[in-house]
């Protein structure tokens, strides 16, 4: 089981006991307004089950890690990555925190830990972060972790009748703050 630690957080492999928080975050309409349309419980369950499986860097699957507050043991969200181009050493990162976990720097702290771990453990050359242009909080997380805006993907996906533009951020491993 993977475990990473920061001053305030324990970032660990997803476990079956995390299901209720995983479900709650995936059903929260406000949290998902820039991410996806509401999904059925079955679709969320299928995603959860797939992410419980053993993970390999070159599997093409997401590594989902649970973010816990060390002081309270509360699960405040999830973070992770997947190797979107193994040959080039590119990995996309992602994170989603509960309402209670937001506004405290936890997303930035957990993302920095994942970037450091993946840089050292999997020789990632470049990290990629995508987020809706309207999602100012997510844009700020990426910027605080040293990611640079590389462009905007206009009308990159659709949620109901609304087209979403994505900011595409990149961080080269040698640029990360140590």
Average confidence (pLDDT) over 24-42: 88
Band the pLDDT of 38: cuts 50, 70, 90: confident
**Nearest to 80, CA basis, from 42, 36, 38, 129:** 129
What is the pLDDT averaged over residues 55-62?
92
Residue 176: its pLDDT value, please?
82
Q: Is the pLDDT of residue 170 over 60?
A: yes
- Across residues 10-30, what is the average pLDDT? 95
Does the pLDDT value for residue 115 go beyond 70?
yes
Q: Which of 46, 62, 121 is nearest to 96 (CA)?
A: 62
Model pLDDT, residue 174? 92
The ranges assigned to domains in the chain are: 3-175
Residue 30 above 90 pLDDT? no
Contact 43, 111 (CB under 8 A): no
pLDDT at residue 96 is higher than 60: yes
**Residues 142-160: tens digit of each pLDDT:** 999 999 999 999 999 999 8
Cα 135 to Cα 4, 35, 140, distances in angstroms: 27, 10, 9
The CA distance from 124 to 30, in Å, is 32
The CATH fold assigned to 3-175 is: Aminopeptidase (3.40.630)
């Amino acid at each position: 089981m993977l475990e990473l630690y920061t001053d305030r957080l324990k970032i660990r492999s997803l476990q079956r006991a995390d299901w209720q928080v995983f479900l709650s975050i995936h059903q929260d309409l406000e949290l998902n307004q820039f991410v996806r349309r509401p999904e059925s419980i079955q679709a969320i369950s299928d995603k959860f089950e797939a992410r419980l499986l053993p993970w390999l860097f070159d599997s093409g699957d997401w590594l989902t890690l649970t973010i816990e507050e060390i002081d309270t043991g509360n699960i405040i969200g999830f973070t992770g990555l997947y190797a979107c181009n193994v040959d080039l050493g590119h990995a996309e990162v992602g994170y989603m925190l509960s309402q209670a976990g937001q506004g405290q720097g936890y997303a930035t702290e957990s993302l920095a830990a994942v970037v450091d771990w993946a840089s050292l453990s999997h020789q990632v050359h470049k990290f990629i972060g995508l987020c809706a242009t309207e999602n100012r909080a997510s844009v700020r997380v990426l910027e605080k972790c040293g990611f640079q805006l590389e462009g905007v993907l206009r009308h990159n996906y659709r949620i109901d009748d609304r087209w979403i533009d994505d900011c595409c951020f990149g961080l080269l491993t040698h640029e990360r703050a140590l």
